[in-house]
Amino acid sequence: MTKKKSYFGSVSISASNTSSRTAEIINDVLDGFLLQEDESGHFEGYPAYTATIESIVLELVGNLPDDDDANFYSLTLKCIKIDPVEVGTKISSKFFTTLPTGLPVEKNGYINISTYLCNYILANTSLNCAVSWVT
């Protein structure tokens, strides 16, 4: 039995598409997730799309409509104590079944998968992104 671990990844995605179109593209590449528009008010007026599967939370937060200076969206993925292969198999997600092994646990208790998340998006979509959480 594999020990369950916690993961966190954060990337900035170029706002070359609408936030809803970007959510669709992310849904297509991160199989098993369905980002849906968040109407909870948690994001204080920012357009946001969220998906939760068990202890995994995916959030895409866009820009305010009148913010002409903002040119990126924020995508975060937080996984609390999961076995990525088990989860990947359960939801049929290549993203999780191919998570790199051997990454160190950071001081905050999470394994930083920001670079993996960014590279996965770059390799499998036309989106431009950059790692936005580094140690």
Alpha carbon distance 100, 131 (integer Å):
16
Domain ranges of the chain: 5-131
Mean pLDDT of 19-28: 91
Q: Under a CB-based contact definition with an 8 Å cutoff, are residues 118 and 130 in contact? A: yes
Q: How many other CB atoms are there within 10 angstroms of residue 92's CB atom?
A: 10
What percentage of the chain exceeds 90 in pLDDT? 43
- Res 95: pLDDT: 86
- Res 47: pLDDT: 86
What percentage of the chain exceeds 70 in pLDDT? 91
- Res 91: pLDDT: 76
- Res 40: pLDDT: 85
Q: Which residue has the tokens 């198999």?
A: 89
Q: For residue 69, what are the CA distances in angstroms to 26, 48, 103? A: 23, 18, 35
Q: Is the pLDDT of residue 82 over 70?
A: yes
Q: Under a CB-based contact definition with an 8 Å cutoff, are residues 75 and 10 in contact? A: yes
Helix (H, G, I), strand (E, B) or coil at 133: coil
Q: For residue 14, what are the CA distances in angstroms to 17, 42, 70, 93, 133? A: 8, 23, 10, 24, 16
Name the average pLDDT for the chain.
Answer: 86
